[in-house]
Amino acid sequence: MTTQLLLLEDDPAIARTVAYALERDGMAVTHSLLVHDARQQMRSRRFDLLVLDVGLPDGSGLDLLREVRHAPATVAVPVLMLSAHGEEIDRVLGLELGADDYLAKPFSPRELAARVKALLRRAGQGKPAAAAAAPAVLFDDEAGQRICLRGQPLPLTRREYRLLAHLLRGAGRIHSRDALLAAAWGDDSESTDRTVDTHIKTLRAKLRELDPAREYISTHRGMGYCLDLP
């Protein structure tokens, strides 16, 4: 099946160059000039990876990134950000919001294509069928609102379930505390970053009870938390 990519870029020349580099590697590229158009495309179809420019005439690719990371249907989709700003603070902001990689302009089309392929490999594209069919270490039984670790259900509260389910959908990705708050608590204004930290501590303890040899949730100082699967 052909890999489907969404490219959000308002510079036609850059868009043509990027699309050519990716299509040469057998990927199908859908190009949007505006944030609004990209939203429409994402409502009508599923994409395997997003390449989002930061500065657009009708907004910022970072706004779309926030929406992508808060929506269950797209939380695990890899995202590569493009920006004319290469300063550390800009890269950190993009990564904190949930981007998987960040590329500053001007860039080499070959480097961009290589990074896209690396993100797809990390997300599981192109795995052998036998590997893809291997039993999951952590399994989210959405119908039963429970998560099983190596076949054993974890004793989770409603908030803990939502928190771990969100981490599991984006396993291997760093999730900011704000994103985790939105996923598990919604609009509860009384919840804070400290609430997330407390629940993460409890989740770690419950995971450790069933699998003492492994630490599943890692802390990334100043950025958030990541669920690491074997």
Q: What is the pLDDT tens value at each position of the chain, 230 positions in all?
A: 789 999 999 999 999 999 999 999 999 999 999 999 999 999 988 999 999 999 899 998 999 998 998 887 888 899 999 988 766 676 777 777 888 898 988 889 899 999 999 999 887 754 443 333 334 688 888 777 889 988 889 999 999 999 999 999 888 889 999 889 888 888 665 778 889 999 999 999 999 999 888 899 999 988 899 998 86
C-alpha atoms less than 13 angstroms from C-alpha of 151 in its C-beta half-sphere: 1
CB atoms within 10 A of CB 217: 16
User: Which amino acid, residue 119?
Assistant: L
Pairing relation of β-strands 224-227 and 217-220? antiparallel
Pairing relation of β-strands 49-53 and 4-8? parallel
- Domain(s) labelled CATH 3.40.50.2300 in the chain stretch across 4-123
The Cα 66–Cα 55 span in angstroms is 15
- Where do we find the tokens 């990134």? 65
Say yes or no: domain 135-227 is CATH 1.10.10.10: yes
The Cα 52–Cα 100 span in angstroms is 11
Identify the three-state secondary structure at position 166: helix
What CATH number should be reported for the domain whose range is 4-123? 3.40.50.2300
**Phi-psi category of 137—alpha, beta or left, where left has phi over 0 and alpha has psi -120 to 50?**
alpha
- Domain(s) labelled CATH 1.10.10.10 in the chain stretch across 135-227
pTM of the model: 0.59
Residue pLDDT, tens place only, 95-134:
778 888 989 888 898 999 999 999 998 877 544 433 333 3
The Cα 3–Cα 26 span in angstroms is 8
**Interior CA angle at 216 toward 214 and 219, to 5°?**
120
Query: How far is C-alpha 25 from the geometric centre of its chain's CA atoms?
Result: 23
Selection from 135, 170, 166 nearest residue 149 by Cα: 135
